[in-house]
Amino acid sequence: MIDLVPDNWKPALATVLAAPEAQALDAFLRAEDAASKAVYPAREARFRALDLTPPDSVKVVVLGQDPYHGPGQAMGLAFSVPDGVKHPPSLRNIFSELESDVGVPRPASGDLTPWARQGVLLLNTALSVEQGKAGSHAGRGWEAVTDAVVDAVARGEAATVFVLWGSHAQAKAARIPALRSGRHLLIESPHPSPLSAYRGFFGSRPFSRANAFLEAQGRGTVDWRL
C-alpha cells in the first residue's frame, strides 16, 4: 500500500503502513479483489486526497465517513463526484449550506478538486467501501491510516481548520490536542446526509467560519466557488 502514498506524505504514514493493522487491511482488500467484489474508489484513487493536497499546503481538513458506494461516484475525495455525475444527497446538502453561508450558487459540477488544490484535505475516515454497502470497510484498518494523517496535520505549526461531519469524523477530535490551546479551529456538526442534516448541519456555517479563522491567522482564505 505504501507505493500508492505520495512521497510528501510517506514520512507521516510510513510507520502506520508497516504496522499490523495496515498489513491486515492490505490483506482484506486483496481478498475483496480476489472475490471479484466491486470496491470504490479504484485502488489507484484511494489516496487521491493526499495527492492533491500536500501536507505543507493543508489549510482545512474536511472529514467524512467513507466513500460513496454507488458506481461511478467515488473519486478519492470525500464528498466529491466526477464532473457530470449526479450529485448525491449529501453533496446537495453541502452545496445548499454553501449557498446559504457564503452566497456561492450551487455549482453544476460536483467535482471538489478545486478545493483540494487550495489546501482543503477532503478525507474520509475509511478510504474504500464495497458497492452498495455503506460502512462496509469501517473497522478494517483504514482508521489507523487516517488517524496518522490527522496526527501529522495537527502536529504541524500552521493553524488549520478541522471540519468534522458526523460521528465517525468527530471520533478523531481527541487526536487534535492543539485544539485546546486555540492553535487550530474545530468545526463539528452532524453529517450532511438527509438523515442528519437538519439536526445541526444546516446553519453551521463551516465555510465562512473557516475563512474567518484562516484570514485572522494570515493563511489566506479558500475560494469556495467551483
Tell me phi and psi for residue 64, to 5 degrees. Answer: -115, -155
In the numeric block, the cell 479563522 is attached to 213
Residue 66 is among the residues annotated as catalytic for this protein:
yes
Q: Which of 212, 156, 210, 215 is nearest to 183 (CA)?
A: 156
pLDDT of residue 181: 62
**73 near 190, Cβ under 8 Å?**
no
Position 139 scores a pLDDT of 94
8 A C-beta contact, residue 24 and residue 141 = yes
pLDDT, one tens digit per residue, over 99-120 is 999 999 999 999 999 999 999 9
Burial class (CB in 10 A: 0-12, 13-18, 19+), 68: buried
The predicted structure's pLDDT at residue 1: 79
> What is the predicted pLDDT for the residue at 167?
92
**Which CATH superfamily includes the segment(s) 2-217?**
Uracil-DNA glycosylase-like domain (3.40.470.10)
Distant-in-sequence, close-in-space partners of 30: CB < 8 Å, separation ≥ 6: none
Q: What is the pLDDT of residue 180?
A: 55
pLDDT at 19: 94
Q: Which of 3, 66, 83, 101 is catalytic?
A: 66
pLDDT at residue 182, rounded to an integer: 73
Distance CA 162, CA 160 (A): 6
Residues of the chain with pLDDT under 50: none
